[in-house]
Structure 1
Amino acid sequence: MFPQQRRRRGLALAAAGTILALTAACSGGGTDEDPTTEPGADAKPSGEITVLTWRTDLVGDGTFDKYVEEFKAKYPDVTDVKIEGLTDYEGEVKTRMNTDNYGDVLAIPGSVTPDQLGQFFEPLGDQAEMAKEYRWINDKSFDGKSYGIPVVGNVQGIVYNTKVWEAAGVTDFPTTPDEFLADLKAIKDKGIEIAPLYTNYKDSWPLSQWDGARGAVTANPDYVNEMVTWDDPWTDERDSGVIDGLIYDVVAQGLTEADPTTTNWEASKQMLGTGQVATMVLGSWAIPQMQAAAEAAGASAEDIGYMPFPAQVDGKFHAVAGGDYNLGINVNSDNKVTARAWIDWFNHESGYSESQVGLSPLIDGAVPAALESFVSEVELITMNPAPAGKESLFADIDTASGIVTTDPKYRQKIVDDARSGDRSRQQVFDDLNAAWAKGRAEVGA
């Protein structure tokens, strides 16, 4: 039986108690001390701030109102916390960052390279000091300063409908990509109108979730750091090749939705919950969303399971644990004291990470019940930061190569090629490797 069978009750309880919220987390200061980010240590939180979020599904449902109410109760001189939900978060924030008007608190977009952090965001503290209290801060740190803290810690893997998989006769986690493909085929062969795997091609950003397996495939926390030293990351032996090769094979073998160009993210959550979709590659942050969608459709939250990426090293599954979006403070903000107070309060007092069935960014944070069984079956690894002085090297090569792995368009192209058959799997690899080698040469790596 799937290990998830042992945690179904925990999943259901987590779903019942889920209080979905904004993003959050931060640095420095405990819950009883007023945080500061700039001169004027005696300043108290007051006035108003604007907080940007990508969680449009939570705007207007009362969730943010609850958090704002609690925050204002603690800091009565705060007159308002305005929440702005942005549908195309990355795109809209990137455009707004051409001006000074991109809120007071916001999740740091993936397009901001490490060396650009200080240009757009207020430093939150010394990286070494903050690392004593918070996990996964290296992603948004540069030159010894931290500019953001993850809102919650995720493990990376695959969300699936347990009923669908069991109905297809699959009772164990697939341990290799070939086993995974065989299991998806078993689901398809049941003759039911089910998409064995849903790509969410049209919304595109979910395709970037596959990057979560980098490092897990070969159990190598230095995979990304080593990738900058290779001209050929896309091979059958390396994580990038295994990941993108599996995407190609799943599509080429007809094991996804019939027409990827018509996918719908919001609809897909309900489809997974009701069994119209069997599998989606997403971080653990997606679990409560899938549970809620399942229950809203009259299905059971207990049908939502979570499995590791289909690869083992020495007979053991591995999964990358890391931070979600990092909250930071707009360097141009006129109210940095209150912005910092919001982040610190949210991180320490909101209970957000627990409600999201995620790991706390606090070093001493507990593992949520819904992930305990997964963690017991899978060895978690945290990716190592880039060496000093090379924090931007990966991003520089990535940009110079023209691939831009942070942009899901390159994986949409893989899906297109697999559907059309215009390029073979090896041709896709050859083109990616040639572009990567070109990028390395341009930046002198």
Structure 2
Amino acid sequence: MHTRRHLIAVLAAASLALTACGDGDGGGSNDGKIAGDITVLTQRTDLVDTVLPEYKKKFEAKYPGTNVKFEAITDYEGEVRVRMNTKNYGDVLPIPNSVTADQLPLFFEPLGTVDELKDKYRFVRSEQTFGGKVYGLAITGNAQGYVFNKKVWTQAGITTPPKTPEEFLDALKAIKEKTGVIPLYTNYKDGWPLGQWEGVRGAVSGDPDAAIKLAKEDAPWTPGKEQYIIDSLLYDAVKGGYSEPDPTTTNWEQSKGLLGTGKIATMMLGSWSVVQMQAAAASKDDIGYWPFPSQVNGKFYTVVGGDYKNGINVNSKNKATARAWVDWFANESNYATDQGGVSPVISAQLPASLADLQAAKTEFIELNPAPKGEEGLADKIGNTAEIALFDGKYRQRIVDAARGAKKETKEQIFADLNKKWADTRAKLK
């Protein structure tokens, strides 16, 4: 099971029915005492029998008389979306991505205001917030760049991160010629990994307002613009013969072993991927993580954003214990760092898995919240135009054209994307 954040902004057809049962009081709150049972939903089916029981033990030791029950769900987004049409969706749960900002108060208990929480926690200024209130604390956070097999890159003679798309392509060429290893794996068949390329939006420009500005663009796929730079690099890498020979047969689970053991060299994924690749490698030191090959005034940037956010079911009968769990998980469990992620607690140290980013003097930035009324506008334009930026489907078209499976040029695709984007933007104004 992959553990990336499902960054997909779900299309309107899949959005939650607004027949929410939440009326805001959620029944009893166990008289405010931290005691009794809570059910915690999780998408981490791979950790429910290993890591999570240790957390249960520590939490229950801190709060005697509590009992935490985990419920792991494989099709997390799909199943929980259905369950949220009832009151029965656990006490604490990762907030599904299909919940739009304006729906948060219908389903989740506010944890405090942005002003109250922003100095202690990352990701609360613009993620899972509405009306100045915060509805979830990140389980972990991710930096954006690419994961690579350090042994393979070193064998090809590359020991410092490429600074431009051209240098990156030269590195892929050297890997192919000197090692025979597949330089770049797209994970085309699963689709969602191609959406991970969108995560570097803001890193290319070093601009925290990147998403806000994208929503104001009529032609994002124009030379010099971030979308053009990101998608051109994908096209050019595939066109150059640096990706897997048959992308229609890629396999996500297998790819972790292939990168870990040096059969493939590179994947454009969030930093959440590092720990999983290390688990498949002979040595953790074989796996590295570098920033997107683009600099602004001689400096690399990476965007850090929150993964799933723990929220409290507005209908929970034990909100006091649910809140204690959310706070304990963020502040004391060490889950984020253990999983190679960025802690939601601002004062926490960065994990060892991001040492390569730090060594490259990469600046970590968070994207700024959009002005009121423009929240999620770029994603809304993309979804409506059928160019969902984070789901990878339109990038499959780019890969198909680059490998010769479709008779389209890069310029034709980008012109079509610009037209769809501009037309949709005009309608949504």
User: TM-score interval w.r.t. the shorter chain?
Assistant: 0.7 to 0.9
List per-residue Cα deviations over 1:203-237 (Å, max 9, x = no partner).
22222221221011111110110111111111221
Q: 1:400·1:442 contact (CA, 8 Å) conserved in 2?
A: no
Matched, 1:436 2:408: no
Q: 1:37·1:340 contact (CA, 8 Å) conserved in 2?
A: no
- Taking structure 1 as reference, are residues 224 and 410 closer, same or farther at Cα in structure 2, changes over 3 Å only? same
Q: 1:46·1:78 contact (CA, 8 Å) conserved in 2?
A: yes
Superposition TM-score, scaled by structure 2 size: 0.87
1:409 corresponding residue in structure 2: 393
Q: 1:252·1:421 contact (CA, 8 Å) conserved in 2?
A: no
In the TM superposition, what are the counterparts of 1:39-78 in structure 2 within 5 Å? Answer: 43-60=32-49, 62-78=50-66
Q: Which amino acid aligns with 1:127?
A: V
- Taking structure 1 as reference, are residues 269 and 22 closer, same or farther at Cα in structure 2, changes over 3 Å only? closer
Q: 2:256·2:277 contact (CA, 8 Å) conserved in 1?
A: yes
- Taking structure 1 as reference, are residues 330 and 262 closer, same or farther at Cα in structure 2, changes over 3 Å only? farther
2:8 corresponding residue in structure 1: none
1:14 corresponding residue in structure 2: none
Q: 2:156·2:179 contact (CA, 8 Å) conserved in 1?
A: no
Q: Which amino acid aligns with 1:422?
A: K
Give me the whole-angstrom Cα distance separating, in 2, the residues matched to 1:417 and 1:198: 16
Q: 2:106·2:314 contact (CA, 8 Å) conserved in 1?
A: yes
Q: 1:160·1:278 contact (CA, 8 Å) conserved in 2?
A: yes
Structure 1: 5+ residue runs without aligned partners? 1-20, 24-35
In the TM superposition, what are the counterparts of 1:114-153 in structure 2 within 5 Å? Answer: 114-137=101-124, 138-153=126-141
Give me the whole-angstrom Cα distance separating, in 2, the residues matched to 1:422 and 1:90: 35
Q: 2:30·2:318 contact (CA, 8 Å) conserved in 1?
A: no
- Taking structure 1 as reference, are residues 22 and 58 closer, same or farther at Cα in structure 2, changes over 3 Å only? farther
List per-residue Cα deviations over 1:354-392 (Å, max 9, x = no partner).
212322211212223443452242122211110123224
Structure 1 stretches (4+) deviating beyond 6 angstroms?
A: 36-39
Secondary structure, aligned partner of 1:313: coil
Q: Residue 85 of structure 1: CA displacement?
A: 3.4
Give me the whole-angstrom Cα distance separating, in 2, the residues matched to 1:307 and 1:185: 18
Superposition TM-score, scaled by structure 1 size: 0.84
- Taking structure 1 as reference, are residues 381 and 44 closer, same or farther at Cα in structure 2, changes over 3 Å only? same
Secondary structure, aligned partner of 2:305: strand
Secondary structure, aligned partner of 1:72: helix
Which deviates the most, 423-432 or 394-403?
394-403
Q: Which amino acid aligns with 2:36?
A: G
In the TM superposition, what are the counterparts of 1:383-422 in structure 2 within 5 Å? Answer: 383-419=367-403, 420-422=405-407
- Taking structure 1 as reference, are residues 57 and 265 closer, same or farther at Cα in structure 2, changes over 3 Å only? farther
Q: Which amino acid aligns with 2:369?
A: P
Q: 2:194·2:391 contact (CA, 8 Å) conserved in 1?
A: no
Q: 2:208·2:368 contact (CA, 8 Å) conserved in 1?
A: yes
Q: Residue 40 of structure 1: CA displacement?
A: 5.4
Q: 2:137·2:330 contact (CA, 8 Å) conserved in 1?
A: no
Residue correspondences, number: 405
Matched, 1:356 2:339: yes
Q: Residue 274 of structure 1: CA displacement?
A: 0.6
Structure 2: 5+ residue runs without aligned partners? 6-24
Give me the whole-angstrom Cα distance separating, in 1, the residues matched to 2:326 and 2:362: 31
Give me the whole-angstrom Cα distance separating, in 1, the residues matched to 2:27 and 2:146: 42
List per-residue Cα deviations over 1:251-293 (Å, max 9, x = no partner).
2222112222222222212211110110011122222221122
Give me the whole-angstrom Cα distance separating, in 2, the residues matched to 1:220 and 1:214: 9
Q: Residue 352 of structure 1: CA displacement?
A: 1.2
In the TM superposition, what are the counterparts of 1:273-284 in structure 2 within 5 Å? Answer: 273-284=260-271
Q: Residue 413 of structure 1: CA displacement?
A: 2.8
In the TM superposition, what are the counterparts of 1:216-365 in structure 2 within 5 Å? Answer: 216-294=203-281, 299-365=282-348
Q: Which amino acid aligns with 1:394?
A: A
Q: 1:215·1:320 contact (CA, 8 Å) conserved in 2?
A: yes
Q: 1:113·1:395 contact (CA, 8 Å) conserved in 2?
A: no
Q: Which amino acid aligns with 1:162?
A: K
Secondary structure, aligned partner of 2:80: helix
Q: 2:27·2:317 contact (CA, 8 Å) conserved in 1?
A: no
List per-residue Cα deviations over 1:382-430 (Å, max 9, x = no partner).
1111012322433432332222223232223322333314221112211
Which deviates the most, 430-439 or 306-315?
430-439
Query: RMSD between aligned alpha carbons?
Result: 2.4
Q: Which amino acid aligns with 1:398?
A: G
Residue 177 of structure 2 is aligned with which of 153, 174, 189?
Answer: 189
Q: 1:110·1:406 contact (CA, 8 Å) conserved in 2?
A: no
